[in-house]
Structure 1
Amino acid sequence: MKFLRNALLAFWAVGLPLTACAQAPALTTFPVGATTVTASALVTNLSTVWELVWGPDNFIWMTERGGRISRVDPATGQVLPLLTVSDVTETGESGLLGLAVTEPFPAAVPQAATYWVFVVYNYTDQGVLKEKLVRYTYTSSGGLGSPQVLLGNITATTTHSGSRLLVLPDHTLLMTTGDAQQTSEAQNPASLNGKILRLNFDGTIPANNPIAGNRLYTLGHRNPQGLVQLPDGRIYSSEHGPSNDDEINKIEVGRNYGWPNVEGNCNLPAELTFCSANNVREPLTTWTPTIAPAGLTYYDHPAIPGWRGSLLLAVLKNSKLTQLTLDATGNAITNRTDFLSGFGRLRAICVSPQGRVYIGTSNRDGRGSPAATDDRILVLENRAYVATATRPTASGFAFELFPNPARRQATVQLPGPTTRLTVRDLLGRTLLTFRPTGPVATLELATLRPGSYLVQADGPAGSLTRKLVVE
């Protein structure tokens, strides 16, 4: 397989609407800086969308709380149901929750297994509500099958269940759990509740977890419902507070996030003592009164420049999309800006490689006021955006690289046909050098191990390096 091939037709395609024949009617528009963002409906008449994930097949993977797992065609909005999980218990906030999709690992897995699909859901065991993590095998011919319970018997109740999933580049899985209204368990390392857990893809415990033989990655959480990793490896989570102090946290391995001894920042005498003694990581920002923060993603695409380098947060109670601007270090949120009112409760969010943002509403969850077409998947896009090969900077030279993180392929939009591309590891060692013949090229990533790399483009106008994360 060639590492680099020309993709001139792809260059034109990335700038076109996914539905090339027609665009969905605009429901509203709003400004993001100098950009006009249009919101439209991709899908209607859903029931409590809980998770949206942009899959490696370039489809949107979706869970609905009642138990249905589907793939959604982003070009047409067609919902392709895969499975309704038979033992899901939907009551209160419980039901089918988080989902993650990845290619099987290790490579010894039979190739018939196209993807592994991880889901978290609540179920009833002898009259008691519990929670479990299950891995399915997906094939294009057979759909979802071969369920394997990786972690079960997790204490649950009708509220405070978590549970987002996040696949890490080292082939491990993070899973958030709520405290299930048993607040003291959040500080108990032996309990699965009130934690972010880390597991191998087969459910075993990674050898380098903070506590040997323990799935704990972080502790002291109340009800974390958002989880995202940035291209440089930083991880962030959103978390529901009680009647005060909803939080956005920077997740650092082994850290304590305080609950129930600390609400929000360490600013009371007892909290200061506890924080000092227990390695507590304070939140980056908090909300009082609470807003019910849910799905969390990262935006770094030229289609909407005003959102680049920011976290985007789907909000339930306050029914908004909130932009959280990060500083250069990622250790502070410098600004909070709200968008997209009027669509009710927003729970799930993902971003496509074309820079479109997809948001799932949650108005049929028992706490909303559903419209006739709810629940919906909304699309936010800059309809005026056309990807171009040249994006001038102060030096007249730039290039774009997406998606990032990437798996098998990444697209490079180059400033000219004479550009040379060099791929190096973080030690500066040259792995590959190529001279593409067109303005758009495709990086074939199959030969690269998961990790971080540097892609350098050299041309007559100068040189520029972008970081690429391979999952």
Structure 2
Amino acid sequence: MKFLRNAVLAFWALGLPLTACAQAPALTTFTVGQTTVTTSALSTGLDHVWELVWGPDNFLWMTERSGRISRVNPASGQVLPLLTLPDVTPTGESGLLGMALHPDFATSPYVYVVYNYTEAGALKEKLVRLTYSASANTLTAPLVLLGNIAATTTHSGSRLLILPDRTLLMTTGDAQLQPEAQNRASLNGKILRMNLDGTVPVDNPTPGSLVFTLGHRNPQGLVRLPDGRLYSSEHGPSNDDEINRIEANRNYGWPTVEGLCNLPSETAFCTANNVREPLTTWTPTIAPAGLTYYDHPAIPGWRGNLLLATLKNTQLIQLALSPAGDAITARTEFLTGDFGRLRAICVSPEGKVYLGTSNGGTDRIIVLENRAYVATATRPATSFAFDLFPNPTRRQATVRLPTPGIRLTIRDVLGRTVATLRPLGTTATMDLSTLRPGSYLIQADGPGGSATRKLVVE
């Protein structure tokens, strides 16, 4: 039994599947550049999938708006329910919404969820931390980190994103209380930033305040790029859905500004209130939802781009970013109408894209993949290798590479990229002072192949 347990832990650490199964039947195919992307159904019979997160156990973690939190086996599609929250109020667009997993999940097995609930007859919103037990496959010990946020059956947000500095971002909608989006004393119409215990970080824009940005209507997508850039997707009224670059202490205009600062009254407000204009807008609206970043060789045409799931337009949209990340240079639509409303999106370490539909009791998780792609780990072994020392380390480590022109990627235990480096020569020193103590993977990619080493930061 001890050998089996160690084998399972080894597979988990390496990010390898424990089982294999036959490929699911293709539903549709489309091309991205020269790549054929195949879609198939992973899981069916779901109810308004709201969030999909790739977990450190190499399972998908899912929320459904009715209140259920589950783990989903990406090989078989089996849904393993963890908990149905008893106090969720799934009315209209309200219910169980965003989710995030603690970056140090092996030692801090915490799951953060945000949802609507009813108190004294009023609909509200709260952020709750749950504790996961792998042996029991349960979530217990709910701890309210933030509550009593005004809500209604629409405009609740709400995505969660944990940053490398172990602070958490939470988007909130204006709850149809439009002036509150400009009220710094209100938590509505904001992106909030807090420590993982719910307290206010000392370096927030306003001392003692959770407000990170303001002037939002209903942001339902949030993503961080490896270099630290933040982007969100946001619902407009009957016009001007938005993609925004999120910057601390910026104002995003709502309700005075809709979309760009292109009306006389909007221009004056934007100048006076440090308004950050969106990178792109849609009129008519498309109802933008889940937002992610794709950076995997499986589908080269998507590398370095944002991917957006939409509800009203029932599309997946590729958003090409400028090199500086301050403009969207192209918008390309896929899957229009194929699967109905698309809400949730995430990318696996294998480069597969998972979409959650939001149509009702017949919802599905859809997989998008390049079935012709052969991962580096399954290719014939080569002599490509690199040295890493000291290991364990505290503040820095040196890498010795076989050739110049190699890209280094540092990933955390969730598979998230926390830093990238492209040394000019064959030796480089990595500054690790911003990383929390824990285990990381250093991946080196170059013309001669790819190799990965484990790094422990003390």
Q: If the TM-score is normalised by the length of the shorter chain, which range does it land in?
A: 0.7 to 0.9
Q: Matches of residues 29-428 of structure 1 in structure 2 within 5 Å? A: 29-103=29-103, 114-142=108-136, 143-341=138-336, 342-364=338-360, 374-388=362-376, 416-421=382-387
CA deviation vs aligned residue, 1:45-101 (integer Å, no higher than 9, x gap): 000000001112211110000000001111111101000000000101000000001
- Report deviation, 1:277: 0.5
- Report deviation, 1:21: 3.4
Structure 1 residues 332 and 76, CA, compared in 2 at 3 Å: closer, same or farther? same
Task: Tell me which amino acid in the other structure corresponds to 1:332.
Answer: A
Q: Matches of residues 431-470 of structure 1 in structure 2 within 5 Å? A: 431-433=397-399, 452=419, 454=421, 456=423, 458=426
Q: Secondary structure at the match of 1:179?
A: coil
2:46–2:363 contact (8 Å) kept in structure 1 = yes
> 2-side partners of 1:205 and 1:148: how far apart?
17
- Report deviation, 1:269: 0.4
Normalised by the length of structure 1, the TM-score is 0.81
> 2-side partners of 1:156 and 1:208: how far apart?
28
1:17–1:383 contact (8 Å) kept in structure 2 = no
Q: Secondary structure at the match of 1:380?
A: strand
CA deviation vs aligned residue, 1:280-306 (integer Å, no higher than 9, x gap): 000000000000000000000000000
Task: Tell me which amino acid in the other structure corresponds to 1:454.
Answer: L
Structure 1 residues 144 and 455, CA, compared in 2 at 3 Å: closer, same or farther? farther
**Corresponding residue for 1:399?**
none
1:451–1:470 contact (8 Å) kept in structure 2 = no
Q: Secondary structure at the match of 2:301?
A: helix
- Report deviation, 1:454: 3.0
- Report deviation, 1:453: 5.5
1:50–1:62 contact (8 Å) kept in structure 2 = yes
> 2-side partners of 1:280 and 1:417: how far apart?
53
1:418–1:435 contact (8 Å) kept in structure 2 = no
> 2-side partners of 1:222 and 1:92: how far apart?
17
- Report deviation, 1:340: 1.1
- Gaps of at least 5 residues in structure 2 are 1-9, 403-407, 427-444
Q: Secondary structure at the match of 1:208?
A: coil
Normalised by the length of structure 2, the TM-score is 0.83
- Report deviation, 1:452: 3.4
> 1-side partners of 2:422 and 2:305: how far apart?
22
Structure 1 residues 18 and 44, CA, compared in 2 at 3 Å: closer, same or farther? farther
1:422–1:430 contact (8 Å) kept in structure 2 = no
2:238–2:285 contact (8 Å) kept in structure 1 = yes
Structure 1 residues 300 and 188, CA, compared in 2 at 3 Å: closer, same or farther? same
Q: Indicate yes or no: 2:20 matched with 1:20.
A: yes
Q: Secondary structure at the match of 1:376?
A: strand
The structure, 1 or 2, with the larger RCO (C-alpha pairs under 8 Å, 6+ apart) is 1
> 2-side partners of 1:445 and 1:212: how far apart?
30
CA deviation vs aligned residue, 1:112-158 (integer Å, no higher than 9, x gap): x6511000000000111000000011121242111100000000000
User: Matched residues, percent identical?
Assistant: 68
Structure 1 residues 329 and 84, CA, compared in 2 at 3 Å: closer, same or farther? same
Q: Secondary structure at the match of 2:202?
A: coil
Q: Secondary structure at the match of 1:306?
A: helix
1:422–1:455 contact (8 Å) kept in structure 2 = no
> 1-side partners of 2:123 and 2:59: how far apart?
32
> 2-side partners of 1:470 and 1:316: how far apart?
42
1:421–1:455 contact (8 Å) kept in structure 2 = no
Structure 1 residues 445 and 357, CA, compared in 2 at 3 Å: closer, same or farther? closer
- Report deviation, 1:432: 3.3
How many pairs were matched up? 412
Task: Tell me which amino acid in the other structure corresponds to 1:329.
Answer: A
Task: Tell me which amino acid in the other structure corresponds to 1:32.
Answer: V
- Report deviation, 1:104: 5.0
Structure 1 residues 18 and 258, CA, compared in 2 at 3 Å: closer, same or farther? farther
Which range moves more in the overlay, 82-91 or 137-146?
Answer: 137-146
Task: Tell me which amino acid in the other structure corresponds to 2:98.
Answer: G
> 2-side partners of 1:81 and 1:453: how far apart?
36
> 1-side partners of 2:448 and 2:155: how far apart?
52
Task: Tell me which amino acid in the other structure corresponds to 2:365.
Answer: I
1:70–1:81 contact (8 Å) kept in structure 2 = yes
Task: Tell me which amino acid in the other structure corresponds to 1:382.
Answer: N
1:453–1:469 contact (8 Å) kept in structure 2 = no
Task: Tell me which amino acid in the other structure corresponds to 1:115.
Answer: P
- Report deviation, 1:420: 3.0
**Corresponding residue for 2:438?**
none
Task: Tell me which amino acid in the other structure corresponds to 1:359.
Answer: L
1:237–1:249 contact (8 Å) kept in structure 2 = yes
> 2-side partners of 1:445 and 1:262: how far apart?
38
